[in-house]
C-alpha cells in the first residue's frame, strides 16, 4: 500500500483526548484543512550541506537523494507520519556518516522552502563513533512546511543536533523518530522564533545500554504565534540517561505548549530521567503551558522526575538593570536572552553557541521594533 492510501485509511483517527492533539487539532495543521486530502507537492525544497562557517565539509559525511522511506519508531502517530511520507514522496534524503567520522567545525544543513507547500523526509544514518555538531536551519516564505526525520545514532557516537526554525510565516509540521545506539550521546536542541503555527512531535528511543540524551528547547514567540511541541523519550535499556529542559519566552498574544512524556519500560534498570518546562510570560495576553508526564514500569531506577515553572519577568532584576543605565527595552531583551541562554548554552561548542546567540539577538531586535 502506498503512502497516500495508507494516510487516507487513518486520516480521521486523531484523538483529542491524547495530549498530542488536545491543543492543536489535525485540521489546523493540515495544509488545506481538508484532512481527507493529500495535496500534490510539485516543487522540491532547496537543501544543501556545508560547514557553518561556509567552508567545504569534511570527507565522510554525505547527503543523497533516495527513493525509499525510513523506518520510524513503532509507537509514532500514524496520521502525521503517513501524511508526511505521502507529501514528501518526491523529496526523500539520507544524511550518512562513515564510521568514526569527526568534524571539528559545526555543519549546516540548510533547508530553504518558498513554495505554497513544501515537505522533506530525512533519514539520519550516523555511523559508529562519529563526532560532530549539526544545525538544521529551516527558512523561507513557504505557507506550509513539513519535516520528517527518522534514523539511528550509531554506537558510541557523540553528536549535537540543533534544529532552528526561521520560517517567515505559515505552518511547520515537524516529526522526529530517532533511535540511539549503545553508549551513544546526543544533544538535540530546538531554537524557534518563526512560523505562525508550529506542531512538533519529537520522539527518541534509547534501545541499548548506556545511551545518553539531552533534549533542549529555546523558544521565542511573539504576536499571535501558536507553537505546540510534544516530546517523548523512551527508555528501553538499562543504564540510560535523559534530560528534557524546555524554555519558552512568550510575548504579544502568542501561545506556546510543551507536553513531555518520559517512558521507562520494565527491565530498564538504572535509568536516570527528568524533564522540566520553564515559561517566561512577556505580556498579559501571552499564554504558556507545560505538561510533563511519566510512565515508569521499572522500580530499580536512579530517578525519574519532572517540574514546571511559569512567571513574568522579575521586576527587581529589571529595576536593577535600569539603575545601571539600561533602557526599558534593552533591560527586557537582556533578561529574555539570559532566560533562553540557560538552555542555548548547553546546545554545543563555543563556536556553535556564538552563532546561536547572534541569531537570538537579531530575533529579539525584531521583537522590540
Q: What's the pLDDT at 282? A: 94
Strands 303-312, 107-112: pairing kind: unpaired
Give the pLDDT of residue 147: 97
Q: How far apart, in whole angstroms, are the C-alpha atoms of residue 340 and residue 158?
A: 24
User: What are the angstrom distances between the C-alpha of 259 and each of 12, 24, 39, 120, 276?
Assistant: 22, 12, 29, 24, 10
Alpha helical stretches, state H, the chain: 3-10, 19-22, 26-29, 78-87, 315-323, 328-344, 350-368
Residue 53: what are its φ and ψ, rounded to 5°?
-90, 5
Beta-bridge partner residues of 146: 119, 173
Burial pattern 275-291, b for ≥16 Cβ within 10 A else e, equals bbbbbbbbeeebbbbbb
pLDDT along the chain (369 residues), means of 10: 86 82 93 92 89 90 93 91 94 97 96 94 98 96 96 98 90 97 98 88 97 97 94 97 96 95 96 96 94 93 92 86 84 90 94 91 79
CA distances from 74 to 125, 234, 237, 250 (A): 18, 11, 16, 34
Please give the pLDDT value at position 1: 60
Question: Per the structure block, which three cell numbers stand in for 279?
Answer: 515559561
* Contact criterion met (CB below 8 Å) for 197 and 25: no
Whole-angstrom Cα Rg for the chain? 20
- Assess contact for 352 and 162: CB atoms under 8 A: yes
Amino acid at each position: 500500500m502506498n503512502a497516500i492510501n495508507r494516510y487516507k485509511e487513518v486520516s480521521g483517527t486523531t484523538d483529542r483526548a491524547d495530549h498530542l492533539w488536545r491543543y492543536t487539532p489535525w485540521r489546523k495543521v493540515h495544509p488545506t484543512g481538508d484532512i481527507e486530502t493529500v495535496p500534490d507537492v510539485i516543487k522540491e525544497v532547496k537543501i544543501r550541506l556545508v560547514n557553518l562557517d561556509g567552508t567545504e565539509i569534511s570527507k565522510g559525511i554525505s547527503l543523497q537523494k533516495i527513493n525509499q522511506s525510513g523506518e520510524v519508531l513503532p509507537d509514532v502517530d500514524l496520521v502525521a507520519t503517513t501524511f508526511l511520507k505521502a507529501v514528501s514522496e518526491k523529496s526523500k534524503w539520507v544524511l550518512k556518516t562513515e564510521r568514526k567520522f569527526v568534524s571539528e567545525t559545526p555543519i549546516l544543513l540548510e533547508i530553504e522552502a518558498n513554495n505554497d507547500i513544501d515537505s522533506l523526509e530525512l533519514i539520519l544514518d550516523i555511523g559508529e563513533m562519529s563526532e560532530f555538531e549539526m544545525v538544521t536551519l529551516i527558512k523561507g516564505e513557504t505557507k506550509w512546511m513539513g519535516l520528517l526525520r527518522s534514523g539511528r545514532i550509531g554506537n558510541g557516537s557523540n553528536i549535537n543536533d540543533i534544529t532552528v526554525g526561521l520560517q517567515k510565516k505559515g505552518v511547520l509540521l515537524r516529526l522526529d523518530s530517532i533511535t540511539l545506539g549503545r553508549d551513544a550521546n546526543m544533544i538535540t536542541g530546538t531554537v524557534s522564533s518563526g512560523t505562525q503555527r508550529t506542531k512538533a512531535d519529537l520522539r527518541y528511543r534509547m534501545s541499548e545500554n548506556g545511551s545518553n540524551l539531552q533534549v533542549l528547547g529555546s523558544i521565542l514567540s511573539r504576536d499571535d504565534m501558536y507553537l505546540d511541541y510534544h516530546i517523548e523519550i523512551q527508555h528501553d535499556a538499562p543504564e540510560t540517561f535523559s534530560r528534557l529542559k524546555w524554555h519558552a519566552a512568550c510575548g504579544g498574544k502568542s501561545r506556546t505548549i510543551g507536553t513531555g512524556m518520559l517512558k521507562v519500560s520494565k527491565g530498564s534498570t538504572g535509568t536516570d530521567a527528568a524533564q522540566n518546562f520553564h515559561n517566561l510570560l512577556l505580556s498579559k495576553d501571552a499564554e504558556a503551558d507545560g505538561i510533563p508526564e511519566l510512565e515508569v514500569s521499572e522500580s530499580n531506577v536512579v530517578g525519574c522526575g519532572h517540574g514546571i515553572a511559569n512567571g513574568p519577568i522579575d521586576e527587581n532584576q529589571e529595576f536593577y538593570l535600569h539603575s545601571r543605565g539600561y533602557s526599558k527595552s534593552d533591560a527586557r531583551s537582556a533578561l529574555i536572552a539570559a532566560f533562553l541562554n540557560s538552555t542555548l548554552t548547553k546546545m554545543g561548542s563555543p563556536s556553535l553557541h556564538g552563532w546561536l546567540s547572534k541569531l537570538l539577538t537579531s530575533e529579539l531586535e525584531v521583537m522590540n521594533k
